[in-house]
Amino acid sequence: QKEVEQNSGPLSVPEGAIASLNCTYSDRGSQSFFWYRQYSGKSPELIMFIYSNGDKEDGRFTAQLNKASQYVSLLIRDSQPSDSATYLCAVYGNQGGKLIFGQGTELSVKP
Amino acid sequence: DAGVTQSPTHLIKTRGQQVTLRCSPISGHKSVSWYQQVLGQGPQFIFQYYEKEERGRGNFPDRFSARQFPNYSSELNVNALLLGDSALYLCASSLAMQGKGYTFGSGTRLTVV
């Protein structure tokens, strides 16, 4: 079992729809969770950080964390073509600041 | 403020050669981490340095080494290059060892031929 798992996609949604991205993790002791956005040919950009159970909202983005079920999700409301990118889920591993990434979910927002 | 800067941006090397990649963190950031990202995969952790000491090492062979300098900049060295070392090498910085996420540099694209 991979430590962090994501569906690779691609996930295709129409413009204006809600995009839902999911991630599961294997280490029940994980505390901090991150969503990064990566445009093709670019480096990852941090968009959300969550460590408490429940929802965290930032603009059109909502991160949801459920530690009992060991999943974290990212909702993007009113999706725009500019949201088309690969979304990476990451958690801290057992070595200091080591981040463990999932393989990423490719999102395509169609006009 | 300048972000995380990496050099060079692109590099082509021959199998068996050695390469040095450089990273300057955001001013004030004391933690520098290195990640390798191959096409279609998420970044894989290579090293973390904090306050000039190695604080973590990923599952990479001894051909990979790194160091952090007194000004907190860092170098990643890879010896005896293999074709499989072709990847995007990312440097990430943060204030602390385990903070609220890292800021990544734009990366160095290494191609081994």
**Residue B1: its pLDDT value, please?**
60
B85: phi then psi, degrees, rounded to nearest 5: -80, -5
Highest-confidence segment of A47-56, B66-75, B97-106? B66-75
Q: Which residues of B touch A44 (CB under 8 A)?
A: 43, 90, 104
Strand order in the sheet with A71-76: A4-6, A19-25, A71-76, A61-66, A54-58
Integer Cα distance of B73 and B11 in angstroms: 20
Probe site for chain A from B41, B47, B88, B89 (most A CB atoms < 10 A): B41
Residue B81 has pLDDT above 70, yes or no: yes
Higher pLDDT residue, B21 or A30?
A: B21
Residue A94 has pLDDT above 80, yes or no: no
Residues 52-111 of A with CB under 8 A from B: 88, 90, 92-93, 95-104
**Residue A104: its pLDDT value, please?**
96
Is the peptide bond between A10 and the residue preceding it cis, with omega within 30 degrees of 0? yes
**Residue A52: its pLDDT value, please?**
87
Q: Mean pLDDT for chain B?
A: 95
Q: Kindly state the average pLDDT of the residues A63-81.
A: 96
B94 to chain A, closest Cα gap in Å: 9
Residue A97 has pLDDT above 90, yes or no: no
Integer Cα distance of B49 and A103 in angstroms: 24
Q: Which residue of A has its CA nearest to B35?
A: A99
Is the peptide bond between B8 and the residue preceding it cis, with omega within 30 degrees of 0? yes
Cβ distance of B41 and A46 shorter than 8 Å: no
Give the whole-number percent of chain B exceeding pLDDT 90: 92
Give the whole-number percent of chain B exceeding pLDDT 70: 99
- The confidence band for A9, taking pLDDT boundaries of 50, 70 and 90, is confident
**Residue A31: its pLDDT value, please?**
86
Q: Counting beta carbons within 10 angstroms of the beta carbon of residue B54, is it exposed (0 to 12), middle (13 to 18) or buried (19 or more)?
A: middle
Cβ distance of A95 and B50 shorter than 8 Å: no
Q: Which residues of B touch A34 (CB under 8 A)?
A: 101
Cβ distance of A96 and B41 shorter than 8 Å: no
Summarize pLDDT for B10-55 with one digit per residue, the tens: 999 999 999 999 999 999 999 999 999 999 999 999 999 999 999 9
**Residue A76: its pLDDT value, please?**
98
